[in-house]
Copies of this chain bind each other. A is one copy, B any other.
Amino acid sequence: MEKENALFGVKEIARRAKVSTATVDRVLHNRTGVSEKTKQRINEIIKEMDYQPNILASRLASRKVINLAALIPDVSEETDFWLAPLSGIRRAESEMKQYGVQVQVFFFDLNDKDSFAEKAREMIDAGVHGILVSPSFIEETKKLAAECSRRKIPFVFIDSNIPDLQSLSYIGPHLRKSGYVGAKLLTYRLESDKKVLIINISKEVDNFNYHEIEEGFRSYFNDHNQPNEIVRIDIRETDYQSVARHLTYVFHLNKDIGAAFVTNSRVHTVASFLKNSHRTHVSLIGYDFVKENVGYLENNVIDFLICHRPDDQGYRGMMALYQTLVINAPVTKQNFMPIDIVTKENYEFYQN
């Protein structure tokens, strides 16, 4: 009168291998304490049956909570950019929590390397199983990556990448191509006798990301034999007064600037300057769909914003961790986001 209706699942494997389900479970999860012989026999049957575990049952039985963490910049007065990735992370969280996954978010200060290191420490100490991180500081990120490797904690990068660090996945823009797109838009209606101004506003002296964007931007000019002269300026102070001072000088020296390209989300500062100095005829392109920029899109001072779906980056980053840790499914190593073009006319539907 035994019920042998289980034609699949661990029970069936156990029946065929003439072992208990406990042993099957051990093999399934590469746990120790199974003779090599039994192990092989079971593995063959698993293959034969093309066994697919029931994640539902698995998660329910093992009441292990999986702890995922994210280490991202805090939203600051300067920019609310990180609101978007955060919202993607939260969205992932709300989908995963029913399956026993918890998410903790750690925020660091973009102007303070030490806060990154400190929060990374906290995060590791919290005993997390997987990490999403915005690798804003190279050295500190390397240390974190090393620690993760040591503890076998998978980690993904979003927004920018540091190659060769064994990250599970990179989810973010292809910066070179992004700069290239910027150049296309900038030159689309640019007269050939006008100069082009590249503006890099950043406290960090050597941000590799901006270099890549600029390289991409310049390579478009090369590829298309654009005759326009390119002027560039680095501004190390991010406040309006400093930016205005530098720009006044550049515009004074170069009377015929027809378009400006800002390599990051600080384009609103430039927009403000152009507006105040009655230079709104200059085409302006920059990065990121943040609050500060939208107003200038609205009143036509900024022509285009380039964006890389920051919301999606957060979402997909968390999902990549989930895939690895819960579903045990493979994850794409490089996941380049679309290079989105946002204008006054389409921004209201740009959710990411």
Residues of A within 8 A of B (CB): 54-57, 59-60, 98-100, 174, 177, 180-181, 184, 188-189, 220, 327, 336-341, 343-346, 348-352
Option from B99, B184, B343 in Cβ contact (under 8 Å) with A343: B184
A56 touches B346 (CB 8 A): no
Residue pairs across A and B with Cβ atoms less than 8 A apart, 29 shown, are: A54-B60, A54-B98, A55-B98, A55-B99, A56-B59, A56-B98, A57-B60, A98-B327, A174-B349, A177-B345, A177-B348, A177-B349, A181-B343, A181-B346, A184-B344, A188-B188, A188-B189, A189-B189, A220-B345, A336-B349, A337-B349, A338-B346, A338-B349, A338-B351, A338-B352, A339-B345, A339-B346, A339-B349, A340-B340
Copies in the complex: 2
| Given A188-B188, A189-B188, A340-B340: A99 touches B56 (CB 8 Å cut-off) | yes
Q: Which residues of B contact A344 (CB under 8 A)?
A: 184
A344 to B341, CA, bound (A): 13
**Residue of A188, A337, A344, A352 with most partner-chain B CB within 10 A:** A188
Chain B residues with Cβ under 8 A from A339's Cβ?
A: 345-346, 349
Cross-chain contact A184 with B345 (CB below 8 angstroms): yes
Known contacts A56-B100, A188-B189, A338-B349, then 14 further A-B pairs from the complex at CB < 8 Å, ordered by chain A residue = A54-B60, A56-B99, A177-B348, A181-B343, A181-B346, A184-B343, A184-B344, A336-B349, A337-B349, A338-B351, A339-B346, A340-B340, A341-B341, A341-B346
- When chains A and B are docked, how far (Å) is the Cα of A339 from the Cα of B341? 9
Inside 8 A of A177's CB, which chain B residues have their CB?
345-346, 348-349
A338→B351 CA distance, assembly (Å): 7
Partner of A338, one of B57, B188, B350: B350
Q: Which 6 A-B pairs have the closest CB atoms?
A: A189-B189, A339-B346, A341-B341, A181-B345, A184-B345, A338-B349
**Residues of B contacting A188 with CB < 8 Å?**
188-189
Smallest beta-carbon distance A325→chain B, Å: 15
- Shortest distance between the CB of A194 and any CB in chain B (Å): 13
Asked if A180 and B56 make an inter-chain contact with CB atoms under 8 angstroms apart, the answer reads: no
Chain B nearest Cβ from A282, distance in angstroms: 15
Q: Which of B56, B181, B340, B348 touches A56 (beta carbons < 8 Å)?
A: B56
